[in-house]
Amino acid sequence: MLEALTGTGLAASAGLNAYIPLLTMGLLARFSDLIDLPTGWQWLSNGWVLTILAALLAIEVVADKVPVVDNVNDIVQTVIRPTAGGLAFGAGSASETVTVSDPGAFFSSHQWVPIAAGVVIALVVHGVKATARPVVNATTAGAGAPVASTAEDVSSVLLSVFAILLPALVLLALGLLVGGGYWLLRRRRRRRRQRHPVEGVTSAGLFG
């Protein structure tokens, strides 16, 4: 069960930021004993891979904090984040960590399952993020973009760390994410309902 929570947390983290969970796993595997990547995933701790991930993360962090640019970035990331989520779930659920000592027992017979699960989880989280960001931009005239982006980056880091060190806390973190996404979607629907009456009055004035 802990393997599933580890993979889920890392995949959800990738839905917010594609590079944070991969970079977190790679750095911890290279410079600590907190995670031991399986043979097929040890490339994540390669120095060149870490450098590329760090460069991509820097670009992502900047682009996601600029209004309008963040929406374009979300479109581009529609493919990248789910892919990263699949990689993160696959690598994380198969790794030995401080809380998981026998990862092979969970996904031993169906190796494709964790990757597919990671893709779906990251895609769902990405969808909520991409839907919520225009609401934030519209209600704050763009000023909320850097604040929302920073909160998402911090959430992604915490999810990655929790997934590896304290996977039980992943459930709490996911609950907070779902609650926040639901609140933003309700706020978006409320704004739409408030706009429609105004549009109706305007149309009546023009054609009446």
pLDDT tens figures, 59-89 = 999 999 998 899 999 999 999 999 999 999 9
The predicted pLDDT at position 206 comes to 44
Rounded to 5 degrees, φ, ψ at 8 are -65, -45
Say if CB 13 and CB 88 are below 8 A apart.
yes
The predicted pLDDT at position 180 comes to 67
pTM greater than 0.85 (yes/no): no
The predicted pLDDT at position 17 comes to 95
CA angle at 122 for the pair 114 and 138, rounded to the nearest 5° = 175
Tokens 């990405």 map to which residue?
Answer: 126
The predicted pLDDT at position 100 comes to 62
SS3 content of the chain, % helix, strand, coil (to 5): 80, 0, 15
The predicted pLDDT at position 207 comes to 46
CA 102/CA 3 separation, integer angstroms:
9
In this prediction, the residues of the chain whose per-residue pLDDT falls under 50 are 199-204, 206-207
The predicted pLDDT at position 201 comes to 45
Nearest to 27 by CA among 7, 4, 54: 54
Going 95 to 99 to 102 to 106, the CA torsion angle's sign is negative
The predicted pLDDT at position 187 comes to 67
